Amino acid sequence: MFSTLKQWIQAKRNTGSGIDTDNLPTPKTAGEQDLFNARLIVLDLETTGLNTSKDEVIAIGAVAIEKGAIYLNDQFDLILRRPDLDIRETVLIHGIGPEALTQGQETKEALVHLLEWMNGDPILAYHAEFDKRFLERTLKAQLGYSLSHVWMDVAELLPAVFPKADPKGRGLDHWSDLFGLEVSERHHAAADAMVTAELTLVALNAARKSNVKTLKDLSQKLRYQRRLQKMKRF
């Protein structure tokens, strides 16, 4: 992805357009788009901590899925250049040290490229609210970008379409083990995005068999799942 970003930056310079933050893609709604044909972004972030109000994004991993497949030539994997950040408390978790943050990609350029690459498509993540808050705050702070994408939570989607499944826990590893998926590296944004994408495909295939045909259908199913979980708490 590093070479792809460099090519993108060079192309901007060659055309004289520069880094344009005023004409970024508008997020799409979850409407009647066919679920099988819709392009979806599966995303994972690495951060300096778990506090969505003060910690910072340091790495972004994402992959696009479409037509029942993961496209390895359509993915995003970057460490941001943020040498000023204190990563002492989390470096042992994600393995991203000061040198990597010094050699990473310029944050503003990387975020503009991410938005253009996502093209406003809906985003899925495992425990999506965490990634949503971090990414939206970062986009606002770095680019002044305040439009909100459609986000869907894979941690809600899996039990919604597999209500009888018992993954022995609620984590990404538990669901991966249940379906026999191999995780190449945990707490690495691109690797976590990839296994989340694999789980998403499993879930979407099951959803289509239960008459979930459009993105709107999927969004409604997830809303029903949230209501169901709230009812179980009482």
Q: What DSSP string describes 152-210?
A: EEHHHHHHHH-TT---SSSSHHHHHHHTT---S-TT-HHHHHHHHHHHHHHHHHHHHHT
Domain of residue 82, CATH code = 3.30.420.10
| pLDDT bucket at 8, cuts 50 / 70 / 90 | low
pLDDT digits (tens, 9 = 90+) for 63-118: 999 999 998 888 999 999 998 888 877 775 677 888 888 899 999 999 999 999 99
Please indicate, yes or no, if residue 106 is contained in any of the structural domains: yes
Please indicate, yes or no, if residue 49 is contained in any of the structural domains: yes
Q: For the chain, what percent of residues have pLDDT higher than 90?
A: 69
pTM to 2 decimals? Answer: 0.89
Residue 7's pLDDT is: 63
- β-pairing, 57-66 with 40-47? antiparallel
Please indicate, yes or no, if residue 16 is contained in any of the structural domains: no
* Residue 195 Cα distances to 44, 78, 114, 187, 198, angstroms: 10, 17, 20, 11, 5
Q: Of 81, 94, 51, 112, nearest to 189 (Cα)?
A: 94
Residue 92's pLDDT is: 58
Please indicate, yes or no, if residue 116 is contained in any of the structural domains: yes
Average pLDDT of the chain, as a whole number? 89
Please indicate, yes or no, if residue 155 is contained in any of the structural domains: yes
Question: Hey, what are 138's tokens?
Answer: 């970062």
131-135: long-range contacts, CB 8 A cutoff, minimum separation 24? 131/43, 131/44, 131/45, 133/52, 134/45, 134/47, 134/52, 134/55, 134/57, 135/43, 135/45, 135/57, 135/60
pLDDT at 173 over 80: yes
Q: Of 133, 77, 116, nearest to 100 (Cα)?
A: 77
Please indicate, yes or no, if residue 224 is contained in any of the structural domains: yes
Largest separation between any pair of C-alpha atoms in the chain: 60
Domain that holds residue 129: 33-233
| pLDDT bucket at 18, cuts 50 / 70 / 90 | low
Residue 230's pLDDT is: 78
What is the domain count for the chain?
Answer: 1
Please indicate, yes or no, if residue 12 is contained in any of the structural domains: no
Question: Hey, what are 169's tokens?
Answer: 């826990």
Please indicate, yes or no, if residue 130 is contained in any of the structural domains: yes
Residue 3's pLDDT is: 53
